Structure 1
């Protein structure tokens, strides 16, 4: 079974709720997507609203991966740069695969779909993302073609006394 990806799906209440549930499930199993467990959909909702506003303003694009039943199994947000000197690359945010699908290659599929989506955007030459140190994500992203281009020590405070590096990764598309 593989996922079917769609860029810029219509955001219905059902899709919104599926993304919220995915985000909570990923967060509550230790995923590095902006929250630490325990978290509820109500905790996440304000952040999703910020993403949806950016989508409505044309600054962010949503990529959704659906399983064979049509349920949301993976997402990522591609955000355009508004700075004129950086408009040739996009940010990739909130990269998530539902925990029940992890280990099946869907993360690689999601990143490949994100790269394909970015290539359709006018003038985009690279994707940039950040990840939390101490999770091994930089190895995963590296195996998908991303190169580490920077680290900021102690930039992410997961809990008092648990500060992590903020690792920046870049994927050239050209």
Structure 2
């Protein structure tokens, strides 16, 4: 069964906790979403709060995917670019699909839903994201239409002696 996607869902404690749980599970499964395992929901919470503040300020929009049980199974945060000369593109952050749902095509569904959401925002012509090198996720994003437009070697330190490239990718929306 496919995920059901919603942009700008009503936010409550259940949704907050669902996102924190998802982020924890993805991180602990090795997902490159800003943390290195092992992490707990308490480790995740400060970063989630930063996203929530940006949402409250109107700078970020939340896209969620719910599974057949209504649980949060996927997320992406669409963050508007605050620089007046770059307001024609947005950032996509914290793109996650719960490990129990991976391998079902839901990641591609999430990326398609994010592109549709971005197309619905007036003035947005492209979506930009970054990803951690050495994970293979850049190949996934490329298969979704993103092009690598930059790379900062060894910018991400996941452990002593384990530095990864920060890969910058762009999806022109081609209205």
- Please report how far the alpha carbon of residue 120 of structure 1 lies from its aligned counterpart in structure 2 after TM superposition: 0.6
Q: Which residue of 2 aligns with 1:139?
A: 139
Whether 1:162 and 2:162 are equivalent positions in the alignment is yes
Q: Report the number of matched residues.
A: 174
| 1: CA distance, partners of 2:130 / 2:95 | 10
Q: TM-score, normalised by structure 2?
A: 0.99
Cα distance in 2 for partners of 1:61, 1:164 equals 28
Which residue in 1 is equivalent to 2:149? 149
What is the CA–CA distance in structure 2 between the aligned matches of 1:68 and 1:137, rounded to whole Å? 26
Separation (CA, whole Å) in 2 of partners of 1:20 and 1:97: 13
Partners of 2:58 and 2:6 lie apart in 1 by 17
Per-residue CA deviation, residues 135-154 of structure 1 (Å, 9 max, x unaligned), is 00110000000000010001
Runs of 4 or more off by more than 4 Å in structure 1?
none
> Aligned partners of 1:59, 1:170: CA distance in 2, in Å?
19
After superposition, where does 1:14-33 map in structure 2 within 5 Å?
14-33=14-33
For 2:98, the equivalent position in structure 1 comes to 98
Give the aligned CA root-mean-square deviation in angstroms.
0.4
* CA apart distance, 1:10: 1.1
- The equivalent residue for 2:84 is 84
Deviation at 1:23, TM superposition (A): 0.1
Deviation at 1:11, TM superposition (A): 1.1
TM-score (norm 1): 0.99
Residue 42 of structure 1: how far off its partner (Å): 0.2
State the shift of 1:68 in Å.
1.0
**Unaligned stretches of 5+ in structure 1?**
none
TM-superposed deviation, 1:48:
0.2
2:52 aligned residue? 52
CA distance in 2, matches of 1:51, 1:71: 20
SS at match of 1:85: coil
Q: Provide structure 2 residue ranges, at least 5 long, that are not aligned to the other structure.
A: none
1:49 alignment partner, SS class:
helix
Question: Aligned partners of 1:79, 1:121: CA distance in 2, in Å?
Answer: 11
